Structure 1
């Protein structure tokens, strides 16, 4: 039985890793009462993830922590795969900044995690309890009752061993691969755990100094060498079957691993050395009633594509606005069903890609490595193929075909075909003429710099924190009746009119007294997006994914379809 006073909260989050910290920040900013419990006495202080995508950086922007996180990141982090002869067989250097930032960053996770944790101090509605382990869950129609036990603390702490009852409306397990919450849900952890082991060695005062990432597909011993911020370098080496884990504590063995990578006589300032095994697993379900899982509790993936951290951030970004909408009474609980529907397929795709990348790097059979290298040389002859890998077009970007989406052609709620098909709407010439035959619905909207009231801002800062209607060259308020506009206002939906800079004065007159924000397309990126998609208005979700894209004449129908797909509840009764 609990031996201390019960706690009440809206959302109980178990696990103060990156996923739990991101979710707590996003919910805290939305005014949700959050209790975050962590089994350890403090945050993990050793390096883990080292790669951050632009999508995650965009979420950090949404958290309001760009300035705090930026010092611990390194942009334009290029990855190269080299064979045993030092020949580059693949380069991964994606160009462009569609979401407002360079595509890839190196980063120091302990320091980024610390910045996110310290960011929670901004919110009186968020409390963090260290040394507390989630050990019991009971669900009923109105909420969840959880028991957390005080398992770590200073020596002599009289509270050690005591249990606390926490009453929450929802519980999210972010406790990692051994998640108690996932086991309580009863979800299968489907996938594989390759038997290969790796040792990671992180050092200060980088003894090499050159930047970026090298994945060594060397059959003699596959390795990784990564330049990171603050003069940190990471080395990783595959361990062979006859090399027990304990050997990594032997300095002579580590010196042997590194002898071909460092100048003779180099002295290392080692931060940490650890042995790990890659896992490729995805939970069969991410939700059971009022209990959900996210991050490593929901999926584990090998390190090769640097997607463990990023996939957890995607989970939290997808889930936060949905939980808040349900808690605030603006949406039915069915909205939470879309979390698993949207996130699980993409998480599995990233696991599969990471496993495939590992199979390229780790072969130790020289015949297999020779065939791989020969194939790579042949493929690199073609500039198109070489650019395909360099620009990372093989990476499956999140794109939701089910959930809070509306079909591009039929405006059917809850589903979105990936491709435009003349068979579905053969009469609409504008759809047939669309420059891109890929529907923009279900994908992330771009984030260029724009002008608002004479100031340059990132688009997300203009969109606000809720849903947004963005129309090109027209005030979307003129397309909606008074009742619909009142409902959108009650739901916190922001209306925006995007125009070329020389149209701003006209647009401000048109939008006066309607509450519509005028956005100057100072770099032409928005005009290009609407041109390529061949639509006039986009309905953008709080997580910056496109819920619907339509002709202006269809906007009222699209608004109703998004409300149905998102199980949004009418506020004007």
Structure 2
């Protein structure tokens, strides 16, 4: 017996990427069905690093208070050589996105929060024991045939139909294979034994990457008194041998006073993979997370890259399903996400090659170079502050060049010859990068993080002036059709004046910390159009605002006059 279930989006895989995408779409009122072949969520530790960008997305979907108890903020990493000497410290102090840069976390607990969070949305359902067998795509929809495993061992089939399907089923993704796209990269031959224990026998809270030429290792203190070790396996050490308790005890002999009395969560052998799909979308089928890219563990970017995918894709699917944008908007998903995913894969491979070096001459060279470089404060802080990590910068996608006004592309440098630009502290363009999130103040919410004040959809931010006073009526009407919130940011000293004199439609925000003023001081772009994923789509002087906003709308194939009603679009923010 078969039945058909219809929704707007089918998500295959109830891992972190699929669960986050379902939360984002659910927040925006879209109907979603998540199909998971397993009987339940995975309950053993996998990812251990959570970035500030990911926590910002978790904040956006309203689950940050539930996730924080499963994290350790300010997770410091030390790279040590075979003698135990620290050769590099990674301890970034920045919080420009509203949270500490790095956190240790317990993935099963955070995944559970994402799953439980879906209960808030009547329009979202998660079905376990549902394995997708095949997919048929037409011009208007996708239809899947699904095998349903019963609790008593029986099997049935069901049919699911949707506008789009997103494969989030991991590195062996059947969705990616159906798309017949390349999966370029490498799978290094080195294998690693991962050991997770409860009741951490050491108790030190941070991360040690052991660049020991005899046997490279990792030791990580995690929340809830969990500790992880990873040991590189040598040629001839089989998986059966490596997971034997006596072998594991020998691995841990230099780390733990009494390895025999540990409370093991798991002992498992794995191989790192470094691959990126050639395309993240074909027609109405898309891939995200490990289905689109596999990363070595060294930079802790696998889980976080999946969060970036969901953050990028969720608002774009919503824009299309609401009628705001044309289907071609989804082409920008690959153009924006693939380049950064590959950059993170390459960086992770490089870090791995530094750690697992076993050649004696190479090890001496590495340690000597590290000792010399650490003598230079600027170099030392470059690594400590994690500035070597490539932050996402979109150059092609939903954006506009701040100098030329060209739609769909943005140069990284402001090249205007106008005096406000030539005299600016920085001529680096803010377009295509994530906007900061300091604390701000309003009478209604008091002191709060910026995102909690401006909501979860498009936002036009203007420094020191009312957007309605500096933009023509046509542009204001386009922004209203987009569902964008109009925001004026003023110093605390001007807040009462602005609340009294500015248009009631404009949200007035006090820059109570001064960090927004500093941001605008440094950049000759006092008007910022923020996308729902907090990336800057457009930035300009006020007089260039109409041209810039129009170019951004063209880059997303904006459908003027055919989207859902203005009140429905504004309701996207109210749902948060």
Q: Structures share a fold, TM > 0.5?
A: yes
Matched, 1:469 2:460: yes
Of 118-127 and 503-512, the range deviating more from structure 2: 503-512
Tell whether 2:352 aligns with 1:358: yes
What is the aligned-residue RMSD (CA, Å)? 1.2
What residue number does 1:73 align with? 71
Deviation digits for residues 190-212 of structure 1 (CA, Å, limit 9, x no counterpart): 00000000011000110001111
Quote the Cα distance in structure 1 between the aligned partners of 2:327 and 2:74: 40
Length, aligned pairs only: 562
Partner SS for 2:3? strand
Q: Distance in 1 between matches of 2:101 and 2:336?
A: 22
Provide the rounded CA distance (Å) in 2 between the counterparts of 1:271 and 1:265: 14
Mapped to 1, the partners of 2:420 and 2:535 lie a distance apart of: 23
Give the 5 Å matches for 1:159-558: 160=155, 162-264=156-258, 267-421=261-415, 425-426=416-417, 428-453=418-443, 455-513=446-504, 515-558=505-548
Q: After the TM superposition, which segments of 4 or more aligned residues of structure 1 sit over 6 Å from their partners? A: none
Q: Deviations over 1:119-157 (max 9, x none)?
A: 000001001010111121111110111112124x42x24
Q: Structure 1, residues 512-563: CA drift from partner, whole Å, max 9, x if none?
A: 33x1000000000111111111121100000000001100111111111111
Q: How far does residue 489 in structure 1 lie from its aligned partner after superposition?
A: 1.7
Q: What secondary structure is seen at the aligned counterpart in 2 of 1:187?
A: coil
Higher alpha-carbon deviation: 446-455 or 334-343: 446-455
Cα distance in 1 for partners of 2:49, 2:178 equals 31
Contact 1:491 1:571 in 2 (8 A): no
CA distance, structure 2, for counterparts of residue 327 and residue 135 of structure 1: 26
Q: CA deviation at 1:448?
A: 0.5
Find the partner of 2:86 among 85, 88, 105: 88
3-state SS, counterpart of residue 538 of structure 1: strand
TM-fit CA distance, 1:572: 7.2
SS at match of 1:329: coil
Structure 2 distance, partners of 1:212, 1:63, is 28
Q: Distance in 2 between matches of 1:512 and 1:504?
A: 13
Question: How has the CA–CA distance of structure 1 residues 390 and 431 changed in structure 2, closer, same or farther, with 3 Å as cutoff?
Answer: same
Matched, 1:46 2:44: yes
Any conservation in 2 of the 1:479–1:556 contact (CA below 8 Å)?
Answer: no
State how 1:133-144 maps to structure 2 within 5 Å: 133-144=131-142
Aligned partner of 2:568 in structure 1 is none
User: 1:433 and 1:483 mapped to 2: Cα distance?
Assistant: 32
- Alignment-derived partner of residue 561 in structure 1: 551
The separation in 2 between residues aligned to 1:249 and 1:239, in whole angstroms, is 11
Deviation per CA, 1:429-460: give whole Å up to 9, x if none.
21112211211100000000100125111111
Instruction: Give the SS at the match of 1:499.
Output: strand
Instruction: Please tell me whether the aligned partners of residues 487 and 571 of structure 1 are also in contact (alpha carbons under 8 angstroms).
Output: no
- The CA distance in 1 between the partners of 2:302 and 2:523, in whole Å, is 31
Contact 1:450 1:523 in 2 (8 A): yes
Deviations 1:479-522 (A, max 9, x none): 22333323322321100000001101111123233x10000000
TM-score, normalised via structure 1 length = 0.96
Shift of 1:266: 5.5
Which residue of 5, 30, 45 maps to 2:3?
A: 5
Unmatched tracts of structure 2, length 5 or more: 564-576
Could you say what secondary structure the match of 1:4 adopts? Answer: coil
- Pairwise CA distance, 1:265: 6.1
1:208-267 Cα deviation digits (max 9, x unpaired): 011110000001100000000011100100011110001233111100000011114651
> Which segment drifts farther, 264-273 or 174-183?
264-273
Partner SS state of residue 498, structure 1: strand
Distance 2:259 2:515 in 1: 53
1:197 touches 1:238 (CA, 8 Å); kept in 2? yes
Partners in 2 of 1:210 and 1:483 — Cα distance? 59
Partner residue, 2:574: none
**Equivalent pair of 2:253/2:259 in contact (CA under 8 Å):** no
